[in-house]
Amino acid sequence: MKKPTRRERIHCALNSPSVLTFPKQPFQTGVITRKDTPPKKKTHPPAPPEPQWNIIQKAAAKALDAVEAALVSSELQHPLPKTADPRVQIAGNFAPVAEQSVKHELTVTGKIPECMNGVYVRNGANPLHEPVAGHHLFDGDGMIHAVTIDGGNSASYACRFTETQRLTQERQLGHPVFPKAIGELHGHSGIGRLLLFYARGLFGLVDHSQGTGVANAGLVYFNQRLLAMSEDDLPYQVRIKSSGDLQTIGRYDFDQQLKNTMIAHPKIDPVSGELFALSYDVVQKPYLKYFKFSTDGKKSPDVDIPLDVPTMMHDFAITENYVIIPDQQVVFKLQEMIKGGSPVIYDKNKKSRFGILLKNAKNAEDITWVDCPETFCFHLWNAWEEPETDEIVVIGSCMTPPDSIFNECDENLKSVLSEIRLNLKTGESKRRPIIQSSEQINLEAGMVNRNRLGRKTKYAYLAIAEPWPKVSGFAKVDLSTGEVEKFIYGDRRYGGEPFFVPRDLSSDSDSEDDGYILAFVHDEVTWKSELQIINAMTLQSEASVKLPSRVPYGFHGTFISSKDLENQV
């Protein structure tokens, strides 16, 4: 019997085409400066200019490329796990698309609500180059998709890469050279890739001094700036042009105040307008820092949070007076690479706990830690204080197996919407599923009404992550009763994060659910994408904006009103 090839052995868990097709991207240098109108006919993008290297650098580049080719050849002798196989991770509508300049006068069915006047932007991973070996969905270059609504039924669309230092260097080189944190950095080959990368740095072939991040996860509009974020770098500022196009300004360090990376889920307090954030380090102590920014962008001093090991901390929560810090069981252990494994692991011997720290704390001396066994929340949707019981209530989706996003396992992933109660007086915790077990569904990616973030909320709007990792609709969940209302996109139609936009952006309505849900939806039969606008009170569709090109499944977004954009920096 013929021995199956590696391509034949690996099953595509997404049930999507496993042959990858990479679009040709228009070439540019530096930040985006293209005209808003596309060329009249298709043209091949010009070749990137040759790097200006001396004879020693050219010889070093040739030698290191040969070493990398040998490393890749060795890697491909063995099957890749599904969590690192690009034919699984970026197949179907997870595959990348080409940039699109602004397309105006889009077709709209239904009527866009009058209050919906501004820009909806959503981030996602969109690798510029085809992977040469391992690749995880989270490894892709950041691309922002933007739908501008000008009032009435007038809408336009554009999508652009966030021009990170990593992307601009790899574009010039013509191939990926920066290590991929999840898809490549495991085992001995991961160590080899790190050594290759730093060797290229020593010869001046790449420059990692200005960051290595992809800016593909979160988006926040703060201090008159749109910031694109991934937790491995500083944020990148992206300007929304009057035409509806996007322009990368560059890495944003808050006027040289931010020296460390910042996680992709900072929180804006709806009352004070302050922004709260964390930064984690996987190599040296302190492994975690907390800080905040005033409304005019002034940064507070860092507060070092004492952790024994570097913890993977993708999200956190705020209340009216506290920040809630999850110290859970998914940790970074770089020494695991020496043993041939992944540096991101589930540590069953570690206790999960939550830290409660005053927002205005100057140090971590008064932090309160409350153990919460066997709890891993990739995202936290909200938290609030209940002084009558001395409790902090945390709402999050508890995921099992905890590291299943990063490491292959046979057990099916479950993401259970949960209420976690942290007692500040007794130091005890309680956890319960919010939805009855008979109606349990996987809920991941979503939000509450951000006008009530950090305060008690009745509703959460969450993606129905079924069949995982696709999203078949979203659920409106009553957090007190567990009642679930569903909006399903339809047969072979899938979306992503549901984003709630209040009817009145500037104030808190008497009805918490008085607003609309925005979601990109893709039809896998027609291969067309659209932006759906759904009434959050009735779960009835209000309008649909037909998009000129496919929008891949992605991560997180935000809505910026036209009024806020008037003061954009």
pTM: 0.89
Name which of 217-231, 421-435, 504-518 the model is least confident about.
Answer: 504-518
Name the band, by pLDDT with cuts 50, 70 and 90, for residue 440. Answer: confident
pLDDT digits (tens, 9 = 90+) for 443-452: 988 999 999 9
CB 213 within 8 A of CB 232: yes
For residue range 55-73, list pLDDT tens digits in order.
998 899 899 989 888 888 8
* Average pLDDT estimate for 99-111: 94
Task: Give residue 39's pLDDT band: very low, low, confident or very high (50, 70, 90).
Answer: very low
pLDDT of 32 higher than 50: no
DSSP secondary structure letter of residue 513: T
Of the candidates 278, 269, 257, the one whose C-alpha atom is nearest the C-alpha of residue 364 is 278
Under the phi-then-psi rule, with left for phi > 0, alpha for psi from -120 to 50, and beta for the rest, what region is 88? alpha
Pairing of strands 218-222, 225-229: antiparallel
Q: What confidence tens digit (pLDDT) does each residue in 360-416 have?
A: 999 998 999 999 988 888 899 999 999 999 999 999 998 887 776 766 666 677 889
Amino acid at 48: P
pLDDT in tens, 199-214: 999 999 999 888 899 9
C-alpha Rg value of the chain to the nearest Å? 23
Neighbours of 209 (CB within 10 A): 8
pLDDT grade for 16, boundaries at 50, 70 and 90:
very low
Q: What percent of the chain has pLDDT over 90?
A: 58
Q: Coil, strand or helix: which one is 151?
A: coil
Q: Could you tell me which of 398, 393, 497, 410 has the C-alpha nearest to residue 455?
A: 393
pLDDT at site 5: 37
Interhelix angle 187-202/55-75, nearest 10 degrees: 170
Tokens linked to 490: 């339809």
**Following DSSP, what letter does each residue of 291-341 receive, concatenated?**
EEE-TT-PBPPPEEEP-SS-B-----EE-SSEEEEEE-SEEE-GGGGTTTS
What amino acid occupies position 202?
Answer: L
Residue 82 has pLDDT above 90, yes or no: no
Instruction: Flag whether 314 is marked binding.
Output: yes
**What is the H or E stretch that residue 169 is in?**
helix 165-173
CA 525 to chain centre: 26
Average pLDDT for 231-246: 94
- Residue 11 assigned as binding residue: no
Please compute the mean of the pLDDT values over residues 525-543 and round it to a whole number. 95
Backbone angles phi, psi at 64, to 5 degrees: -70, -35
Question: For 462, which DSSP code?
Answer: E
Q: Is 44 among the annotated ligand-binding positions?
A: no
Is 379 among the annotated ligand-binding positions? yes
State the pLDDT at residue 345: 79
CA dist 169 and 173 (Å) reads 6
Query: What digits encode the pLDDT tens for the residues 244-298?
Result: 999 999 999 999 999 989 999 999 999 999 999 999 888 888 999 999 999 999 9
Mean pLDDT of 205-227: 93
Alpha-carbon distance of 9 to 12, in angstroms, equals 10
Q: Does the pLDDT at position 50 exceed 90?
A: no
Stretch among 190-194, 320-324, 336-340 having the lowest mean pLDDT: 336-340
Tokens for 358? 């005053």
Mean pLDDT of the chain: 86
Q: State the DSSP string of 99-135.
A: -EEEE-S--EEE---TT--EEEEEEEE--SS--SS--
